[in-house]
Structure 1
Amino acid sequence: MSAQLQWVPSVQGSSTASASTDLPLGVPMPGPNFAAIVKAVTPAVVNVSTTRVVKSAGTEELGPRFDDPFFRRFFGDEFFRRFGVPRERRQSSLGSGVIVDPSGYIVTNNHVIAEADEIKVVLSDKREFDGKVIGVDPKTDLAVIKIDGENLPTISWGDSDSLQVGEYVLAIGNPFGLTQTVTMGIVSAIGRANVGIADYEN
Protein backbone atom coordinates (compact mmCIF):
# COMPACT_ATOMS: atom_id res chain seq x y z
CA MET A 1 0.00 0.00 0.00
CA SER A 2 1.26 3.44 -0.82
CA ALA A 3 0.12 6.85 0.29
CA GLN A 4 0.13 9.96 -1.85
CA LEU A 5 0.23 13.48 -0.43
CA GLN A 6 -1.76 15.98 -2.42
CA TRP A 7 -2.04 19.78 -2.20
CA VAL A 8 -5.61 20.92 -1.78
CA PRO A 9 -6.13 24.55 -2.92
CA SER A 10 -7.95 26.83 -0.54
CA VAL A 11 -11.55 27.63 -1.19
CA GLN A 12 -12.71 31.23 -1.53
CA GLY A 13 -13.83 32.49 1.85
CA SER A 14 -11.90 29.87 3.79
CA SER A 15 -10.23 31.10 6.98
CA THR A 16 -7.26 28.75 6.56
CA ALA A 17 -5.50 30.98 4.06
CA SER A 18 -3.94 34.38 4.78
CA ALA A 19 -2.46 36.93 2.42
CA SER A 20 0.42 37.54 4.84
CA THR A 21 1.74 34.01 4.24
CA ASP A 22 2.58 34.98 0.68
CA LEU A 23 5.20 37.52 1.89
CA PRO A 24 8.80 36.26 2.23
CA LEU A 25 10.30 36.25 5.70
CA GLY A 26 13.43 38.20 6.63
CA VAL A 27 12.89 41.10 4.26
CA PRO A 28 14.49 44.21 5.82
CA MET A 29 12.22 47.13 6.49
CA PRO A 30 13.05 50.22 4.45
CA GLY A 31 14.70 52.96 6.47
CA PRO A 32 17.43 55.59 6.46
CA ASN A 33 20.96 54.56 5.56
CA PHE A 34 23.73 56.65 7.12
CA ALA A 35 26.68 54.77 5.61
CA ALA A 36 27.47 57.50 3.08
CA ILE A 37 27.38 60.22 5.74
CA VAL A 38 29.60 58.25 8.10
CA LYS A 39 32.10 57.57 5.32
CA ALA A 40 32.22 61.25 4.43
CA VAL A 41 32.70 62.73 7.91
CA THR A 42 34.61 60.03 9.81
CA PRO A 43 38.07 61.08 8.53
CA ALA A 44 37.64 64.47 10.25
CA VAL A 45 36.86 62.93 13.64
CA VAL A 46 40.04 62.68 15.70
CA ASN A 47 41.20 61.03 18.90
CA VAL A 48 42.45 63.52 21.51
CA SER A 49 44.63 62.17 24.32
CA THR A 50 46.19 64.33 27.01
CA THR A 51 48.72 63.92 29.78
CA ARG A 52 48.95 65.99 32.93
CA VAL A 53 51.88 65.85 35.35
CA VAL A 54 50.74 66.18 38.96
CA LYS A 55 53.36 66.98 41.58
CA SER A 56 52.97 66.21 45.26
CA ALA A 57 55.35 66.24 48.21
CA GLY A 58 56.57 62.86 49.36
CA THR A 59 57.91 61.71 52.71
CA GLU A 60 60.18 58.85 51.66
CA GLU A 61 63.38 60.91 51.77
CA LEU A 62 62.47 62.43 55.14
CA GLY A 63 62.33 59.05 56.85
CA PRO A 64 59.48 56.88 58.12
CA ARG A 65 58.95 58.92 61.30
CA PHE A 66 57.87 61.94 59.25
CA ASP A 67 55.07 59.88 57.72
CA ASP A 68 53.46 59.32 61.11
CA PRO A 69 49.86 60.66 61.26
CA PHE A 70 50.55 62.45 64.56
CA PHE A 71 53.60 64.18 63.07
CA ARG A 72 51.59 65.25 60.03
CA ARG A 73 48.75 66.56 62.19
CA PHE A 74 51.16 68.50 64.42
CA PHE A 75 53.26 70.15 61.69
CA GLY A 76 50.58 70.38 58.99
CA ASP A 77 50.73 69.77 55.27
CA GLU A 78 52.69 72.98 54.69
CA PHE A 79 55.76 71.31 56.21
CA PHE A 80 55.67 68.55 53.63
CA ARG A 81 55.06 70.98 50.79
CA ARG A 82 58.16 72.93 51.77
CA PHE A 83 60.52 70.16 52.81
CA GLY A 84 59.13 66.99 51.26
CA VAL A 85 60.65 65.54 48.12
CA PRO A 86 58.32 66.23 45.16
CA ARG A 87 56.80 63.21 43.50
CA GLU A 88 55.32 63.21 40.02
CA ARG A 89 52.49 61.15 38.65
CA ARG A 90 50.96 61.32 35.19
CA GLN A 91 47.23 61.57 34.62
CA SER A 92 45.79 60.69 31.22
CA SER A 93 42.54 61.66 29.55
CA LEU A 94 40.85 60.58 26.32
CA GLY A 95 38.33 62.37 24.16
CA SER A 96 37.22 63.22 20.66
CA GLY A 97 37.36 66.23 18.41
CA VAL A 98 36.44 67.37 14.90
CA ILE A 99 38.63 69.23 12.43
CA VAL A 100 36.65 72.27 11.33
CA ASP A 101 39.29 74.11 9.31
CA PRO A 102 41.94 72.94 6.80
CA SER A 103 44.60 74.83 8.74
CA GLY A 104 44.18 72.40 11.64
CA TYR A 105 41.68 73.93 14.05
CA ILE A 106 39.86 71.29 16.11
CA VAL A 107 36.80 71.64 18.34
CA THR A 108 36.85 69.38 21.39
CA ASN A 109 35.71 69.36 25.04
CA ASN A 110 37.30 71.62 27.62
CA HIS A 111 37.31 68.89 30.29
CA VAL A 112 39.47 66.73 28.00
CA ILE A 113 42.32 69.22 27.60
CA ALA A 114 41.98 71.23 30.84
CA GLU A 115 45.36 71.72 32.57
CA ALA A 116 47.02 69.30 30.14
CA ASP A 117 50.79 69.37 29.80
CA GLU A 118 50.76 67.35 26.59
CA ILE A 119 48.11 66.94 23.89
CA LYS A 120 48.27 64.27 21.20
CA VAL A 121 45.87 64.15 18.25
CA VAL A 122 45.51 60.98 16.17
CA LEU A 123 43.65 61.02 12.86
CA SER A 124 41.69 58.15 11.35
CA ASP A 125 44.60 57.52 8.95
CA LYS A 126 46.89 57.01 11.99
CA ARG A 127 48.75 60.29 11.56
CA GLU A 128 49.72 61.76 14.93
CA PHE A 129 50.23 65.42 15.83
CA ASP A 130 50.98 67.55 18.86
CA GLY A 131 48.04 69.76 19.79
CA LYS A 132 48.16 73.36 20.99
CA VAL A 133 45.38 75.01 22.99
CA ILE A 134 43.95 78.06 21.21
CA GLY A 135 40.99 78.87 23.46
CA VAL A 136 38.69 77.37 26.06
CA ASP A 137 35.19 78.03 27.40
CA PRO A 138 34.59 76.04 30.59
CA LYS A 139 30.96 77.16 30.87
CA THR A 140 30.05 75.44 27.60
CA ASP A 141 32.74 72.75 28.06
CA LEU A 142 34.18 73.58 24.65
CA ALA A 143 37.77 74.15 23.57
CA VAL A 144 39.66 74.84 20.36
CA ILE A 145 43.06 73.27 19.74
CA LYS A 146 45.30 73.34 16.68
CA ILE A 147 47.57 70.91 14.89
CA ASP A 148 50.07 71.60 12.10
CA GLY A 149 49.46 69.26 9.20
CA GLU A 150 48.70 69.06 5.50
CA ASN A 151 45.74 67.64 3.59
CA LEU A 152 43.55 67.60 6.68
CA PRO A 153 39.93 66.43 6.30
CA THR A 154 37.31 68.80 7.68
CA ILE A 155 33.68 68.92 8.76
CA SER A 156 31.63 71.97 7.83
CA TRP A 157 29.57 73.87 10.37
CA GLY A 158 25.83 73.28 10.55
CA ASP A 159 23.03 75.67 11.46
CA SER A 160 21.56 74.84 14.87
CA ASP A 161 18.76 77.37 14.33
CA SER A 162 17.32 75.17 11.57
CA LEU A 163 17.32 72.04 13.76
CA GLN A 164 13.90 70.46 14.27
CA VAL A 165 12.55 68.02 16.83
CA GLY A 166 12.42 64.51 15.39
CA GLU A 167 15.36 64.89 13.02
CA TYR A 168 18.03 62.22 12.98
CA VAL A 169 21.42 62.99 14.53
CA LEU A 170 24.68 61.02 14.40
CA ALA A 171 27.48 60.96 16.96
CA ILE A 172 30.95 59.78 15.96
CA GLY A 173 33.68 59.65 18.56
CA ASN A 174 36.08 57.63 20.67
CA PRO A 175 34.32 56.61 23.91
CA PHE A 176 36.67 54.75 26.26
CA GLY A 177 39.31 54.80 23.52
CA LEU A 178 37.12 52.82 21.08
CA THR A 179 37.94 54.77 17.93
CA GLN A 180 35.43 55.75 15.27
CA THR A 181 32.33 54.62 17.17
CA VAL A 182 29.06 55.66 15.51
CA THR A 183 25.71 56.04 17.27
CA MET A 184 22.37 57.41 16.09
CA GLY A 185 19.39 59.11 17.72
CA ILE A 186 16.82 61.82 17.18
CA VAL A 187 16.43 65.37 18.40
CA SER A 188 14.10 64.94 21.36
CA ALA A 189 13.71 68.64 22.20
CA ILE A 190 15.25 72.05 21.61
CA GLY A 191 15.58 75.15 23.76
CA ARG A 192 15.68 73.29 27.06
CA ALA A 193 17.23 74.81 30.18
CA ASN A 194 17.92 73.85 33.80
CA VAL A 195 19.22 70.45 32.73
CA GLY A 196 22.39 70.86 34.79
CA ILE A 197 24.80 69.61 32.13
CA ALA A 198 26.59 72.93 31.53
CA ASP A 199 26.43 76.53 32.69
CA TYR A 200 25.18 77.62 29.26
CA GLU A 201 22.19 75.65 27.98
CA ASN A 202 19.86 75.85 25.01
Structure 2
Amino acid sequence: MTQKDSYHHGNLRRALMDAALEELDEKGPSALSLRSLAKRTGVSHAAPAHHFQDKTGLLTAIATEGFLLFGEALARELETTDSYSELGVAYVEFAIRHRAHFSVMFRPDLLRLDDGELIAAKQKAWNVLQSGASRLAPDTSDSAAIAGWSMVHGLVTLLMSGNLPAAWAADPLETARVVTRRLG
Protein backbone atom coordinates (compact mmCIF):
# COMPACT_ATOMS: atom_id res chain seq x y z
CA MET A 1 0.00 0.00 0.00
CA THR A 2 1.52 3.32 -0.98
CA GLN A 3 0.98 6.65 0.72
CA LYS A 4 -1.54 7.66 -1.95
CA ASP A 5 -3.50 4.46 -1.24
CA SER A 6 -3.59 5.30 2.45
CA TYR A 7 -6.52 4.91 4.78
CA HIS A 8 -9.05 7.73 4.71
CA HIS A 9 -12.44 6.44 5.87
CA GLY A 10 -14.01 3.26 7.10
CA ASN A 11 -12.50 0.57 9.26
CA LEU A 12 -9.04 1.66 10.45
CA ARG A 13 -8.59 -1.51 12.49
CA ARG A 14 -9.02 -3.62 9.34
CA ALA A 15 -6.78 -1.30 7.32
CA LEU A 16 -4.05 -1.62 9.94
CA MET A 17 -4.37 -5.39 10.02
CA ASP A 18 -4.19 -5.58 6.23
CA ALA A 19 -1.11 -3.37 6.24
CA ALA A 20 0.41 -5.54 8.98
CA LEU A 21 -0.25 -8.70 6.95
CA GLU A 22 1.53 -7.13 3.98
CA GLU A 23 4.45 -6.13 6.15
CA LEU A 24 4.62 -9.57 7.76
CA ASP A 25 4.79 -11.10 4.27
CA GLU A 26 7.55 -8.72 3.27
CA LYS A 27 9.69 -8.57 6.42
CA GLY A 28 8.45 -10.98 9.08
CA PRO A 29 7.25 -10.31 12.62
CA SER A 30 10.46 -8.88 14.05
CA ALA A 31 10.50 -5.92 11.62
CA LEU A 32 6.84 -4.98 12.15
CA SER A 33 6.15 -1.74 14.00
CA LEU A 34 3.02 0.25 14.72
CA ARG A 35 4.80 3.38 13.53
CA SER A 36 5.52 1.83 10.11
CA LEU A 37 1.90 0.70 9.85
CA ALA A 38 0.70 4.20 10.66
CA LYS A 39 2.90 5.58 7.91
CA ARG A 40 1.78 2.85 5.51
CA THR A 41 -1.89 3.62 6.13
CA GLY A 42 -1.43 7.38 6.23
CA VAL A 43 -2.56 7.97 9.81
CA SER A 44 -0.86 9.52 12.82
CA HIS A 45 1.75 7.39 14.56
CA ALA A 46 -0.53 7.20 17.62
CA ALA A 47 -3.60 5.92 15.74
CA PRO A 48 -2.72 2.18 15.75
CA ALA A 49 -2.40 2.19 19.54
CA HIS A 50 -6.07 3.19 19.81
CA HIS A 51 -7.03 -0.14 18.22
CA PHE A 52 -4.31 -2.52 19.43
CA GLN A 53 -2.55 -0.83 22.36
CA ASP A 54 0.82 -2.16 21.17
CA LYS A 55 2.54 -4.53 18.74
CA THR A 56 1.66 -7.53 20.89
CA GLY A 57 -2.02 -6.59 20.70
CA LEU A 58 -1.84 -6.30 16.92
CA LEU A 59 -0.06 -9.65 16.53
CA THR A 60 -2.59 -11.26 18.87
CA ALA A 61 -5.43 -9.95 16.67
CA ILE A 62 -3.70 -11.31 13.57
CA ALA A 63 -3.11 -14.70 15.21
CA THR A 64 -6.74 -14.80 16.35
CA GLU A 65 -7.94 -14.11 12.82
CA GLY A 66 -5.48 -16.71 11.55
CA PHE A 67 -6.81 -19.42 13.87
CA LEU A 68 -10.38 -18.63 12.82
CA LEU A 69 -9.45 -18.85 9.12
CA PHE A 70 -7.45 -22.00 9.82
CA GLY A 71 -10.39 -23.70 11.54
CA GLU A 72 -12.68 -22.73 8.66
CA ALA A 73 -10.21 -24.10 6.08
CA LEU A 74 -9.93 -27.41 7.91
CA ALA A 75 -13.71 -27.62 8.37
CA ARG A 76 -14.22 -27.06 4.61
CA GLU A 77 -11.76 -29.84 3.87
CA LEU A 78 -13.56 -32.17 6.28
CA GLU A 79 -16.80 -31.58 4.36
CA THR A 80 -15.26 -32.97 1.17
CA THR A 81 -12.74 -35.61 2.21
CA ASP A 82 -12.57 -38.95 3.90
CA SER A 83 -8.78 -38.87 3.94
CA TYR A 84 -6.78 -37.95 7.01
CA SER A 85 -3.80 -37.21 4.80
CA GLU A 86 -5.83 -34.66 2.76
CA LEU A 87 -6.62 -32.87 6.01
CA GLY A 88 -2.84 -32.57 6.43
CA VAL A 89 -2.54 -31.20 2.89
CA ALA A 90 -5.19 -28.59 3.76
CA TYR A 91 -3.04 -27.60 6.74
CA VAL A 92 -0.01 -27.06 4.49
CA GLU A 93 -2.11 -25.21 1.91
CA PHE A 94 -3.45 -22.88 4.59
CA ALA A 95 0.09 -22.09 5.77
CA ILE A 96 1.17 -21.27 2.22
CA ARG A 97 -1.86 -19.11 1.42
CA HIS A 98 -1.89 -17.35 4.78
CA ARG A 99 1.84 -17.14 5.40
CA ALA A 100 1.61 -13.84 7.30
CA HIS A 101 -1.03 -15.18 9.70
CA PHE A 102 0.85 -18.43 10.09
CA SER A 103 4.08 -16.58 10.89
CA VAL A 104 2.60 -15.42 14.21
CA MET A 105 -0.06 -18.01 15.06
CA PHE A 106 2.34 -20.43 16.73
CA ARG A 107 4.64 -17.83 18.30
CA PRO A 108 3.61 -17.54 21.96
CA ASP A 109 6.50 -15.14 22.53
CA LEU A 110 4.72 -12.58 20.32
CA LEU A 111 1.16 -12.94 21.65
CA ARG A 112 -1.06 -12.19 24.61
CA LEU A 113 -1.74 -15.78 25.55
CA ASP A 114 -4.45 -14.78 28.03
CA ASP A 115 -6.51 -12.99 25.34
CA GLY A 116 -10.00 -14.52 25.42
CA GLU A 117 -10.59 -14.22 21.67
CA LEU A 118 -7.25 -15.88 20.90
CA ILE A 119 -7.96 -18.70 23.34
CA ALA A 120 -11.40 -19.31 21.80
CA ALA A 121 -10.08 -19.21 18.21
CA LYS A 122 -7.26 -21.64 19.03
CA GLN A 123 -9.69 -24.00 20.75
CA LYS A 124 -12.08 -23.87 17.82
CA ALA A 125 -9.30 -24.73 15.36
CA TRP A 126 -8.03 -27.52 17.61
CA ASN A 127 -11.56 -28.95 17.89
CA VAL A 128 -11.82 -29.14 14.10
CA LEU A 129 -8.39 -30.75 13.80
CA GLN A 130 -9.14 -33.24 16.57
CA SER A 131 -12.59 -34.10 15.22
CA GLY A 132 -11.05 -34.70 11.79
CA ALA A 133 -8.46 -36.97 13.33
CA SER A 134 -11.12 -38.83 15.29
CA ARG A 135 -13.24 -39.34 12.18
CA LEU A 136 -10.51 -40.08 9.66
CA ALA A 137 -7.62 -41.71 11.49
CA PRO A 138 -7.51 -45.37 12.50
CA ASP A 139 -6.42 -44.34 16.00
CA THR A 140 -9.21 -42.14 17.39
CA SER A 141 -7.30 -40.82 20.38
CA ASP A 142 -5.82 -37.36 20.74
CA SER A 143 -2.48 -38.95 19.89
CA ALA A 144 -3.57 -39.27 16.23
CA ALA A 145 -4.31 -35.56 16.10
CA ILE A 146 -1.00 -34.69 17.78
CA ALA A 147 0.95 -37.03 15.49
CA GLY A 148 -0.64 -35.59 12.35
CA TRP A 149 -0.28 -32.03 13.58
CA SER A 150 3.38 -32.57 14.44
CA MET A 151 4.12 -34.05 11.04
CA VAL A 152 2.45 -31.38 8.92
CA HIS A 153 3.57 -28.51 11.14
CA GLY A 154 7.13 -29.76 10.90
CA LEU A 155 6.79 -29.96 7.13
CA VAL A 156 5.47 -26.39 6.98
CA THR A 157 8.31 -25.18 9.21
CA LEU A 158 10.91 -26.81 6.97
CA LEU A 159 9.23 -25.41 3.87
CA MET A 160 8.87 -21.84 5.15
CA SER A 161 12.38 -21.67 6.55
CA GLY A 162 13.89 -22.82 3.26
CA ASN A 163 15.25 -26.02 4.79
CA LEU A 164 13.36 -28.49 2.61
CA PRO A 165 15.42 -29.92 -0.27
CA ALA A 166 14.62 -28.04 -3.51
CA ALA A 167 13.02 -31.06 -5.17
CA TRP A 168 10.56 -31.37 -2.28
CA ALA A 169 9.97 -27.62 -1.96
CA ALA A 170 9.12 -27.23 -5.67
CA ASP A 171 5.60 -28.64 -5.20
CA PRO A 172 4.72 -28.30 -1.52
CA LEU A 173 1.20 -29.68 -1.82
CA GLU A 174 2.40 -32.83 -3.58
CA THR A 175 5.13 -33.13 -0.97
CA ALA A 176 2.44 -32.82 1.70
CA ARG A 177 0.46 -35.63 0.02
CA VAL A 178 3.50 -37.91 -0.05
CA VAL A 179 4.38 -37.16 3.58
CA THR A 180 0.84 -37.32 4.97
CA ARG A 181 0.10 -40.68 3.33
CA ARG A 182 2.29 -42.07 6.05
CA LEU A 183 -0.41 -41.06 8.53
CA GLY A 184 -2.74 -43.74 7.26
Same fold (TM over 0.5): no
Look at both structures and tell me which one has the larger radius of gyration over its CA atoms.
Answer: 1
The structure carrying a bigger helix percent of its residues is: 2
Q: Place the TM-score, normalised by the shorter chain, in its bin.
A: under 0.3
The answer to which structure, 1 or 2, has the higher relative contact order (CA under 8 A, 6+ apart) is 2
